[in-house]
């Protein structure tokens, strides 16, 4: 690998990780799926560049990023809107952008939403772990967290960039939920109460789970639940009664009862909800 085939990370403002479509089929070994949280945004970035949709990119959380390009490549930034500058000159968001060799790319903080996706033609060619280049922040399986000084190898471009790609806005409104396998551990009206309450995103939300503040749900079954398998979007309820929506880095098993499961179509919204924003649920 030559320096011309790399990106040098100069500055990182928040959590930045390498992500792809994730690790499928390893939950029985206790390995989380991981992968990008906002799948439509990540796949759109790859479509703009002619990449295979399973290619690896950077997921930039809130804080911004600055890097120096070794090779001249097309790039695309999607997801949460942010300022995009190449050698100080403003460039577009949601379009293919030419990044010359030696140029400095800067992404500003997210202006709305939480997670921006930075893709490069050919993808990031970091070493895969267990068949994926996704970083799992629960057990830190996969590529390490991206920090200043990191050097990221680039893959070989495989397609041509698109002039435009249709932006499909994330559906606004409540998160649609299906009844969970342990709804009977709660008061009979628990699902109705869940869907009638306006919660707010808690500041400790992360890639593992979307946590909320608000009115707690009441359990009617006491004691401990034996650990059982957890799925993406499961709405777990810990002892404090406040729901937690499990996201890509969630543990594969858990002992808190699941009152509901968020519809897979609405999971991208969970990736872009900012701390303090309202969260509502409704029956699917």
Distance CA 282, CA 278 (A): 14
Predicted local confidence at residue 3, as pLDDT = 66
pLDDT-derived band of residue 1, with 50, 70 and 90 as boundaries? low
Predicted local confidence at residue 89, as pLDDT = 98
* Whether residue 172 has pLDDT greater than 90: no
Domain 175-283 has CATH 2.40.100.10: yes
Query: What number is the average pLDDT over the span 164-191?
Result: 85
Q: What is the reported pTM?
A: 0.95
Show Cβ contacts of residue 84 under 8 Å, excluding neighbours closer than 6 positions: 77, 90, 91, 92, 93, 97, 105, 106, 107, 108
* Whether residue 72 has pLDDT greater than 90: yes
Give residue limits of the domains in the chain: 3-153, 175-283
Residue 219 pairs in a beta bridge with 186
- pLDDT, tens digit (0-9, with 9 covering 90-100), for 107-148: 999 999 999 999 999 999 999 999 999 999 999 999 999 999
Distance CA 97, CA 89 (A): 12
- Spell out a b/e string for 131-165, using b for 16 or more CB atoms within 10 Å of the CB, else e: ebbbbbbbeebbbeebeeebebbbbebeeebeeeb
pLDDT-derived band of residue 19, with 50, 70 and 90 as boundaries? very high
Predicted local confidence at residue 165, as pLDDT = 73
* Whether residue 188 has pLDDT greater than 70: yes
Percent of the chain with pLDDT over 90: 85
């Amino acid at each position: 690998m030559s320096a011309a085939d790399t990106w040098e990370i100069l500055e990182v403002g928040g959590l930045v990780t390498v992500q792809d479509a994730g690790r499928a089929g390893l939950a029985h070994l206790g390995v989380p799926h991981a992968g990008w949280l906002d799948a439509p945004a990540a796949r759109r970035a790859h479509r703009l560049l002619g990449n295979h949709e399973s290619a690896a990119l950077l997921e930039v959380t809130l804080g911004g990023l600055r890097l120096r390009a070794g090779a001249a490549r097309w790039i695309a930034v999607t997801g949460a809107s942010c300022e995009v500058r190449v050698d100080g000159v403003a460039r577009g968001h949601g379009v293919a952008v030419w990044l010359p060799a030696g140029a400095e790319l800067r992404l500003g903080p997210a202006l709305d939403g939480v997670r921006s996706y930075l893709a490069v033609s050919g993808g990031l060619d970091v070493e895969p772990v267990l068949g994926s280049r996704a970083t799992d922040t629960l057990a830190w399986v996969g590529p390490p967290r991206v920090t200043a000084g990191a050097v990221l190898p680039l893959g070989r471009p495989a397609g041509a960039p698109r002039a435009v790609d249709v932006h499909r806005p994330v559906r606004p409104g409540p998160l649609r939920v299906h009844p969970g396998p342990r709804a009977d551990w709660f008061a009979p009206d628990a699902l109705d109460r869940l869907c009638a309450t306006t919660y707010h995103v808690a500041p400790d939300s992360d890639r593992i789970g979307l946590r909320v503040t608000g009115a707690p749900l009441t359990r009617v079954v006491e004691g401990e639940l034996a650990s059982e398998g957890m799925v993406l979007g499961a709405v777990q309820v810990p002892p404090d009664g406040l729901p937690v929506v499990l996201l890509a880095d969630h543990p594969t098993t858990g002992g808190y009862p699941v009152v509901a499961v968020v519809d897979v179509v609405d999971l991208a919204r969970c990736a872009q909800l900012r701390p303090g924003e309202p969260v509502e649920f409704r029956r699917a």
